[in-house]
Structure 1
Amino acid sequence: MNDTIDTIGKHSIRDRNPSTVGTAVTRLAPRGDRPLRVLSEGDWRHWEENGYVVIEGAVPRATVEGIGDLIWEFEGMDRTDPATWYPPEKSRLRRTELSYNAGMVELYHHQLLWDARQSPRVHGAFADLWGTEELWVSIDRVNLNLPPEPGFEFKSFMHFDYDPDGEADSVQGVLSIGDQVDPEVGGFVCIPELFRHYARWRARQPDDWDWYRPDVTGLPRVAVPLRKGDLLIFNSRLCHGIRQNISRDKVRMAQYIAMLPAREEDAAAREWRIRCWRERMAPQGYSLHGAAHGSRYDAAQLTPLGERLLGLASWRN
């Protein structure tokens, strides 16, 4: 059972989706003189200064449009009929569960989702940031952020998903399934100024500060516009959140994709990942609710790159 929206905090995060967790020695790569696969030099400078980078056209348009259709189908909604967008049970959950309030959808496995995960351009971008091609991809869900229904109160807040004082580096990623250039649609928002001056800001925080719900009053927030198929990658030390969709009839859709250095020596982690893919299991962890009917889709076919990103094949062969 997850804590309610009003009581949630760093104490609530007792376990996580295993596919999104690195190790204490996980480190992002310095620029050095190595060639970049996907990022430009300007992208790299933006990444270092602001804590995020946008990879344009990271996933083919046909795949992204297919994912959009899939989300509507999975949720049992008609995109042309807003009367179908607010079934009573989902409306109830949006009032009490933070993940539903923010638009999370418990869909993890489908050929199209894996096609996005095994996109060479997506892999190349993460390989640039980690300094290695030997990565594992996260097995994560999607987002459908609807216009507000009557009586709805949006309660998402600016946060860190990981303790920014922790030793390990981590990254997160958001693939835009539809254009997010209209401010009314909502979308990703962050505080690059805090990323740049974190140590100075942190020194002013109380000893018992809550990194999951930090007080960032007065700090400028930057909304990041995205086009369909763009991939936003951000450093987990970047304070971020989701802006509310305040439009009348538009939706915000996204798929969460990240990659971390592969841990091929961890047999238990590798076996869990393979089983998760093969049996279409929903990961367990904080704020995850499982997919009651996610296994109705067949196991995805993987490319040779996808097999390595899952852990089914070794990067060393």
Structure 2
Amino acid sequence: MAKRSRAQPQLHNLQLILNTADPSSEPVKHGDWRDEFDAKGYVVLKNVVPKERALYYRQKMLDWLGSFDNGFNINDRSTWTEENLPWSFKNGMYLNYCAAHEKYVWDAKQEPGVLDAFAKIWGTDELIASYDTVNITLPNAAEMGGTKPWPHVDQAPERNGMHCVQGFINMSEAGPKDGGLVVMEGSAPLFEKFFKEFPPDRTKGPLAALHYDFYPFQDEDLKWYEARGCKIVKVCAEPGDLVLWDSRQMHYAVYPETDLIRTVIYTCYTPAAWISPEDLENKKEIFHKWEATTHWPHINIHSHGKHMIDGELDPLERAEPLEKPEITDKLEKLAGLKPY
């Protein structure tokens, strides 16, 4: 398995963020799905998790959502209200309540096909996981305070080259109208070119924060990409499919227009060798508190913490998962709790 050239992981100041790899060099040809991924910036891998397992995980997700004893009943749509649900980011991403460490989440992230895909991307099976979470988006999510599309990338403009591959395991049907991921196909390979032409201004707004791996695009930016052959694509997938996209890929999510509930488990791995000793210790502390992080496994290690309401702990918060994961040697290595 040939290893790809990647930037060094210990990035402690802005000058060191620049990748030593030449982003203009031709990508390695693999003769498999990685070629499509490199060209388009994303890929849908079919049947990575057996369908019956995916539907099992989907049911576990719905059971979890109904476990808060707050008036929500999955079988009664009249209870599908913001008041009856635990808080979520953009009406679907559950960043708190120990959601990231439920047993079914770790079980899904350790599915052989999932690990194999990330091993092929990075050229190593010694991986470290993000403490990313789940998305359960109800069909009426837009009615709870919908937002406009927010096209963005989740990688700092100063980081040249591929540093992270985001992903999720799809547990529901996701057709053109079912809600979910939208990408600007082909935008990842143009990442460095765009920011060379339009350098980010870090003196104002969210970009002022060092290492803030997020960049929001404006309408005219979309036109720039489209003029270079890129196109907006709603990503479609079936239960058990693994969706992967380069963090340099412009993307956003849309709410469902059908009656289907969107259920995905976010999954991201990078080489374990990339994490610094300081970030590793921080990551361990977050694990032992059963809290979630961003999708970055090896940098940007900060916890989403507990959900607060008006400065007080949300009464729906939990000190531990409803069902704790089985702490195996494999999980400890993937979670960064012990070395390979």
Both proteins in one fold, TM over 0.5: yes
1:1-317 to structure 2, matched below 5 A, reads 23-24=10-11, 41-76=31-66, 77-88=72-83, 100-106=89-95, 107-148=99-140, 150=143, 152-167=145-160, 169-181=163-175, 183-205=176-198, 208=201, 212-215=215-218, 216-218=221-223, 219=226, 220-247=231-258, 249-263=259-273, 266-283=276-293, 288=304, 290=306, 292-293=317-318, 295-315=320-340
State the one-letter code of the partner of 2:216.
R
Say whether the 8 Å CA contact 2:55–2:171 is kept in structure 1.
Answer: yes
Return the offset for 1:314: 2.8
Q: Name the CA distance, whole Å, in 2 between partners of 1:150 and 1:258.
A: 30
1:32 to 1:207, Cα distance in 2 relative to 1, 3 A: closer
Per-residue deviation, 1:69: 2.1
Q: Normalising by structure 1, what TM-score?
A: 0.75
Q: Provide closer, same or farther for how the CA distance between residues 244 and 272 of structure 1 changes in structure 2, counting only shifts above 3 A.
A: same
Separation (CA, whole Å) in 1 of partners of 2:184 and 2:252: 9
Unaligned runs of 5+ in 2: 1-8, 12-16, 67-71, 208-213, 295-300, 308-316
Are 1:185 and 1:246, in contact at CA under 8 Å, matched by a contact in 2? yes
CA distance in 1, matches of 2:132, 2:236: 22
In 1, distance between residues paired with 2:144 and 2:105?
A: 33
Normalised by the size of structure 2, how large is the TM-score?
Answer: 0.70
| Aligned-CA RMSD value | 3.3
Match of 2:133, as an amino acid? R
Q: Give the partner amino acid of 1:222.
A: V
Instruction: Assess if the C-alpha contact under 8 Å between 1:176 and 1:253 holds in 2.
Output: yes
- Measure how far apart 1:244 and its partner are: 2.0
Letter in 1 for 2:114: V
Deviations 1:87-125 (A, max 9, x none): 32759x6xxxxx622521131111111111212221111
In the alignment, the residues of structure 1 paired with residue 321 and residue 275 of structure 2 have an alpha-carbon distance, to the nearest angstrom, of: 32
Give the whole-Å Cα distance in 2 for the aligned partners of 1:144 and 1:313.
31
- Number of residues paired by the alignment? 280
Q: CA separation in 2, counterparts of 1:136 and 1:206?
A: 31
Gap change, CA 1:89 and 1:263, over 3 Å in 2: farther
* C-alpha distance 52-193 of structure 1, shift in aligned 2 (>3 A): closer
SS at match of 1:185: coil
Letter in 2 for 1:100: F
Letter of the 1:174 counterpart: F
Letter matched to residue 126 of structure 1:
F
**1:294 Cα deviation from its structure 2 partner:** 6.2
- The residue type paired with residue 237 of structure 1 is R
Q: Residue type of the partner of 1:172?
A: Q
Provide, for residues 184-233 of structure 1, a one-character-per-residue CA deviation record: whole Å limited to 9, x for no partner.
21111111232233444434436538662112343321111111111111
Distance verdict in 2 for CA 1:27–1:105, change over 3 Å: farther
Residue type of the alignment partner of 1:140? D
> Quick check: 2:168–2:267 contact (8 Å CA) kept in 1?
yes
- Answer yes or no: is the 8 Å Cα contact 1:195–1:238 preserved in 2: yes
- Structure 1: any 5+ residue segments left out of the alignment? 1-21, 34-39, 94-98
